Amino acid sequence: MTDSKYFTTTKKGEIFELKSELNNDKKEKKKEAVKKVIASMTVGKDVSALFPDVVNCMQTDNLELKKLVYLYLMNYAKSQPDMAIMAVNTFVKDCEDPNPLIRALAVRTMGCIRVDKITEYLCEPLRKCLKDEDPYVRKTAAVCVAKLYDINSSMVEDQGFLDQLKDLLSDSNPMVVANAVAALSEINESSSSGSPLVEMTPQTVNKLLTALNECTEWGQVFILDSLANYSPRDEREAQSTCERITPRLAHANAAVVLSAVKVLMKFMEMLPSDSEFVTSLTKKLAPPLVTLLSSEPEVQYVALRNINLIVQKRPDILKHEMKVFFVKYNDPIYVKLEKLDIMIRLASQANVAQVLSELKEYATEVDVDFVRKAVRAIGRCAIKVEQSAERCVSTLLDLIQTKVNYVVQEAIVVIKDIFRKYPNKYESIISTLCENLDTLDEPEARASMIWIIGEYAERIDNADELLESFLEGFADENSQVQLQLLTAIVKLFLKRPSDTQELVQQVLSLATQDSDNPDLRDRGFIYWRLLSTDPAAAKEVVLAEKPLISEETDLLEPTLLDELICHISSLASVYHKPPSAFVEGRAGIRKSLPASARAGSEGVESTESQAAPAVIPAQDSLIGDLLSMDIGGPTVAPVAAAPAAPFGSAAMDLLGGGLDTLLGETSSSPAPPSALAASSAALLGDIFGAPAASATYVAPKTTWLPAEKGKGLDISGSFVRRNGQLFMDLTFSNKAMQPMLGFAIQFNKNSFGITPASPLQVQSPLPPGVAADASLPLATTGPVQKMEPLTTLQVAVKNNVDVMYFACQIPMHALFVEDGQMDKRVFLATWKEIPAQNEVQYTITNVMHSADTVVSRMQQNNVFTIAKRNVEGQDMLYQSLKLTNGIWVLNELKIQPGNPNITLSLKSRTPNVAEGVFQAYDNILHG
């Protein structure tokens, strides 16, 4: 006797038959009939017509029958709301039943009936059940609150169910706690406000941690997930929480393990990375992750996607586990592809030989996608581990010899990247590549090949013929290939102008006249104009030195990575997208990693606010700058230098020629320029005829923060005054291995009330090995506090890595304001007024200037000469200056012709500025 008999039908019609059976007096018959109804329902047949007959069977002592009717109700109540009311009485009665199983069943089913009228009746029984003496009923009721919230959220709030639910968090039974946590987090997720309903206090966390040890595996997942939303107050709490969670790593349920990993990864951020605890925790994390890879393929896939994130965040955890990521012949393809990704991430000098021999095997497999990715991986290996480049190139050459079409094309694409990374090293293989020209039919491979030809046109004798052959079908090419071809031919022309003039004219006319693609036309026009007006400039632009491509081409952006680390084990971690990007109607609370304890509390907020606006306003101001540059003449100098970094990258977009296509086509490589940035900015300046900077003395940049103290960030800088505005010119060099972003700057209170006038705008992200300039306008309206020495400025610079502190000296001359010229009489009166003890003397040694030079030099730096006298063959200069804070300084200089020493007497009401002023004189006159 099996259930399949429920599907046998008679001629009369199934529904009719069932109806009569349901109304049969015999219990057994009824039960059988309901079973038949359920069976039809499970396969998707519509049996809603039987609603009244089924509901009639509800009043019964037989639990199985009751359950079956309930199952039916859950499915169809929504379509028959009026009829569903008939069931209410039974539900209410069942909620009072002495048997806890029946009470729970009733409250559970009622929650599943998504009919508004029923929910009204549900409130009272639910309230009772939430306080039921039996934990089984309580835990069912907890879930029921979540169901009710989904149907009618305002009612749940009005009736105070949320508070009752929160009370359950401290229930004595761990299962009840777990379900309450699950219900609360689901309510949280769907609530429109998006703000957490439950403030996680250390007390709640403690309760949850206690329940964690005793509840079911699923409950553990819920509890761990909600713990991940908690930010411990300090290092100690983070560490003790980690300690209590670590045992979960040995759970048999993969979901528990991964949720535990999430919490640990997040809390570890708060602990000093060099502490013993973190080191031992890092060691403990590896084995469970490896074990996940021995589970079912579906689990492996999710684990691998998460490991991908973990490896990017903390490469140390799995650096010795390379072998477990080797592909097995029977892995499903989705697992294979993920494993390849991780192999590349873990590749290092130590294991590259092994990795390479594996990859070579993979490249001979049958699955096309997998082979392609393997070939690409070989290229990435070469770029990542320099020592292996040679071997990788020869492996790729071997693969090209196989003449398998897609292998060849993929190999050419990656060889192009290798050329970019190691210029002038492997060009000997170009001839082999050229042999395969005809077989290339994919745009990316064609574009790469054309780039190679253009880049090395001077070494390829028949480069013009090769490019010409591509030109024949120009109109049919993919736009990527067209752009590349245009640039390559211009490159060729610049290198061999004599015999390729015709070719370049042909391509320019094709690009500008026959094409509908605006990108292509614009680029064509720019090249054309550059070539016709100034070939030298064209050469500098088109053949400019290319920035290095970064090693890891598809690293996630660090802020996104940090956000995703908070979402380990969730769907977001599988898609590598923040949940706000794909979950419908989700209120956008973005999670972020807790700042390391040392970074202080203000760290987190400023990341969010600073990171975003860094780029966009820069572009706006850039347009303004370009305009003012054209028109404004003399005002140019300060602005042109100010946004140097963003400026450069935009210039690249316009003029970078081959570069941006290349960047575009290896869309994964974010390799932003910076070496080039400065040069092309300067170049543009030349083009538009910007005047040379004025002769204001600018102290050479000094290193303020060496890389070893700045976690890989090296900052050097100086202070300058441009057009009455004080600037802090900074150079940020990223000497770490990862891109940096989210830069922000703050000053401590200082003697002159100096404070940033606008947010720091620096190229972000800043790729490894790249230096970017930034100019920060300063205001002097900040809070004042006297420093020792007076000119000290304490600066805090923050990026995604950490907050760095350093102190620098503001050269006093930068603080001399433009209106520092005193009236002669006022000068005299003031000089007399200031008591003699305020006079300080100083000798400036080794100055070979005449008095006139001194006057003009000082004038340029806002030190104004009031009077000049010649007394006994000595030149006496009387100069005045005013500091940003309104302090006047009066000076008398004695210059004897032939004597390299100048005597300086200074009078000021606040003589402690003297030291700085002397320093300024010294610098200006020697500079």
Partner 1 sequence: MIHSLFIINPSGDVFMEKHWKSVISRSVCDYFFDHQRKASSPEDIPPVIATPHHYLISVYRSSMFFVAVCTTEVAPLFVVEFLHRVVDTFEDYFSECTESIIKEHYVVVYELLDEMLDNGFPLATESNILKELIKPPNILRTIANTVTGKSNVSSTLPSGQLSNIPWRRTGVKYTNNEAYFDMIEEVDAIIDKSGSTVCAEIQGYIDCCIKLSGMPDLSLSFVNPRLFDDVSFHPCVRFKRWESERVLSFIPPDGNFRLMSYHIGSQSIVAIPVYVRHSLCLRESGSGGRLDITLGPKQTLGRTIENVVLEIPMPKSVLNCGLVTNQGKYTFDPVSKLLVWEVGRIDVTKLPNIRGTVTNCHFSALYF
Minimum distance, C-beta of residue 749 to partner 1, in the bound complex (Å): 45
Minimum distance, C-beta of residue 254 to partner 1, in the bound complex (Å): 5
Strand partners, 806: 795
C-alpha 47/C-alpha 727 separation (Å) is 78
What token pair was written down for 66? 């009751």
The DSSP symbol for 691 reads P
C-alpha 204/C-alpha 502 separation (Å) is 78
**CB contact at 8 A, 288 and 251:** no
C-beta of 364 vs 899, nearer to partner 1 = 364
**CB contact at 8 A, 884 and 854:** no
Among residues 250, 350, 616, 829, which is the contact residue for partner 1, using CB under 8 A? 250
Piece of 137-145, 413-421, 735-743, 916-924 that binds partner 1 (CB under 8 A): 137-145
Among residues 29, 83, 85, 134, which is the contact residue for partner 1, using CB under 8 A? 134
Q: Which residues in the 286-325 window bind partner 1 by CB under 8 A?
A: 287-288, 290-291, 294, 296-299, 301-303, 320-321, 323-324
Minimum distance, C-beta of residue 334 to partner 1, in the bound complex (Å): 5
Among residues 14, 157, 217, 551, which is the contact residue for partner 1, using CB under 8 A? 217
Burial 588-624 (b: 16+ CB within 10 A, else e): eeebbbbbbbebeeebeebbeebbeebeeebeebbee
Piece of 35-43, 120-128, 479-487, 868-876 that binds partner 1 (CB under 8 A): 35-43
Per-residue binding letters, 4-33, with partner 1 (x by CB under 8 A): x-x--------------------xx--x--
C-beta of 302 vs 793, nearer to partner 1 = 302
Q: Which residues in the 166-195 window bind partner 1 by CB under 8 A?
A: 173, 175, 179, 182-183, 186, 189-190
SS3 per-residue string spanning 253-271: CHHHHHHHHHHHHHHHCCC
Minimum distance, C-beta of residue 61 to partner 1, in the bound complex (Å): 9
| C-alpha separations of 773 from 73, 617, 677 in Å | 69, 16, 9
Binding of partner 1 at residue 868 (CB under 8 A)? no
Among residues 18, 58, 177, 221, which is the contact residue for partner 1, using CB under 8 A? 221
Closest CA to 512 of 529, 499, 535: 529
Among residues 13, 59, 63, 833, which is the contact residue for partner 1, using CB under 8 A? 63
Q: Which residues in the 600-639 window bind partner 1 by CB under 8 A?
A: none
**CB contact at 8 A, 148 and 161:** yes
Q: Name 519's Cβ contacts closer than 8 Å, sequence gap at least 6.
A: 479, 483
Separation of first and last alpha carbons in the chain: 103
C-beta of 138 vs 446, nearer to partner 1 = 138
Among residues 52, 59, 64, 846, which is the contact residue for partner 1, using CB under 8 A? 64
Binding of partner 1 at residue 143 (CB under 8 A)? yes
C-beta of 349 vs 357, nearer to partner 1 = 357
Q: Which residues in the 546-575 window bind partner 1 by CB under 8 A?
A: 567, 569-572, 574-575
What token pair was written down for 533? 């007006």
Piece of 65-73, 202-210, 848-856, 888-896 that binds partner 1 (CB under 8 A): 65-73
Minimum distance, C-beta of residue 545 to partner 1, in the bound complex (Å): 42
C-alpha 732/C-alpha 767 separation (Å) is 11
Q: Which residues in the 366-405 window bind partner 1 by CB under 8 A?
A: 366-367
Task: Look up residue 1 and give its amino acid.
Answer: M
Strand partners, 223: none
User: What are the DSSP calls for 582-647, one per residue?
Assistant: TSTT---PPP-PPPPGGG-SHHHHHHHHHHGGGTHHHHHHHHHHHHHHHH-GGGHHHHHHTTHHHH
C-beta of 336 vs 882, nearer to partner 1 = 336
Binding of partner 1 at residue 769 (CB under 8 A)? no
- Can you tell me which residue has the tokens 């200037």? 849
C-beta of 326 vs 456, nearer to partner 1 = 326
How many residues of this chain interact with partner 1, rule: CB under 8 A?
105
Among residues 106, 208, 238, 257, which is the contact residue for partner 1, using CB under 8 A? 257
C-beta of 358 vs 477, nearer to partner 1 = 358
What token pair was written down for 160? 């105070």
Among residues 147, 380, 384, 391, which is the contact residue for partner 1, using CB under 8 A? 147
Binding of partner 1 at residue 97 (CB under 8 A)? no
* Number of Cα atoms under 13 Å in the Cβ half of residue 926: 14
Minimum distance, C-beta of residue 377 to partner 1, in the bound complex (Å): 17
Minimum distance, C-beta of residue 282 to partner 1, in the bound complex (Å): 15
